[in-house]
Amino acid sequence: MEAKNYTSMQQFFLTGLSEDPEMQFVLFGLFMSMFLVTVLGNLLIMLVTSCDSHCHTPMYFFLCNLSFVDICLTSTTITKMLVNIYMHTMEISYTECLTQVYFLNNFLGMDNFLLTIMAYDYFVAICHPLNYTIIMNPRICGLLVLLSWITMFWVSLIHMLLMKQPKFSISTEIPHFFCELTELLRVAYSDTHINNIFLYLVTALLGVFPVIGIAFSYFHIVSALLKMSSIGNKYKAFSTCGSHLCVVSLFYGTGFMVHLSSAVAHSSKRNAITSIMYTVVTPMLNPIQCQLVSPDLESYIFK
């Protein structure tokens, strides 16, 4: 029988990380703990940066925005999985799935932009400390974040408009614990050539170029740090930039592994496990990154 596209009553099935009933309790406890740590830790960052006047700097402004995005990102991916495990079901409606895809793309893109902006912020603070307050003034910082939101709004919207074309059979299984765009396109039975072209184009533009920008910033940061004479200033800079670089490496490394390696060889379970790193673990590490940031870094670099 020919499959039909019932977009109004369509239901998908998320197979999750494991179909073993005994593992469901373990997964529920593990991801619930990670979810609570992520939400509470990032909420604390937002509260402290809002109330403490010493944290009213560009570095903490971007960290505060990153905390908000990370809470939203984790909530988008984990909450549905926790509900499904608790309710002993794998169902997700067509509308819920596309909504999850839209917000997931939005928040992943914002993580991407904010990590890049933070690298540029550290670059200016360390390499151009005398002009830091002029270059990274509040108006510029707000404009950078606003442009990032506008860009991801339109990119995600185009993805959703293109998703009107693919057709899915009833009760399609998605080998993941959330609706990821690449997996959704893979299980479609109609032609998804245009969707894939736009997906890889966006991945290249919004992934490769920010990585180049981050690499450029850190090249000059490392060069400047090697010229420093003060051990204390070097430690402040290395602790701040090092924590950010670890998060960047984890986020981009696992993200590219999922989205680009799938074009060569596909392993749904491996991709699902790898995606945990940039959708769950990376947001959970943001509070650690915040603790290592020196709020007065820019004033200490070239003392």
- Residue 196: which pLDDT band, with cuts at 50, 70 and 90? confident
> Is residue 106 scored above 90 in pLDDT?
yes
Distances (CA, A) of 243 to 102, 108, 156, 291: 29, 19, 29, 9
What confidence tens digit (pLDDT) does each residue in 111-150 have?
Answer: 999 999 999 998 998 888 888 889 999 999 999 999 999 9
Q: Which CATH class is domain 11-165+172-300?
A: mainly alpha
> Is residue 246 scored above 60 in pLDDT?
yes
Range from 6-15, 94-103, 166-175, 197-206 carrying the lowest mean pLDDT? 6-15
Domain boundaries, the chain: 11-165+172-300
pLDDT at 160: 92
Tokens coding 188: 């479609």
Sheet strands (E) in the chain: 11-14, 91-93, 172-174
Q: Are 296 and 219 in contact (CB under 8 A)?
A: no
Q: At what angle do helices 282-291 and 58-87 cross, to 10 degrees?
A: 150
Q: Are 176 and 183 in contact (CB under 8 A)?
A: yes
Which amino acid makes up residue 39?
V
Q: What's the predicted TM-score (pTM) here?
A: 0.85
What confidence tens digit (pLDDT) does each residue in 55-90 have?
Answer: 788 888 998 999 999 999 999 989 888 988 888 888
What confidence tens digit (pLDDT) does each residue in 12-53 have?
Answer: 888 877 777 778 888 889 999 999 999 998 998 889 888 877
Distances (CA, A) of 119 to 65, 104, 215, 231, 265: 14, 23, 9, 22, 32
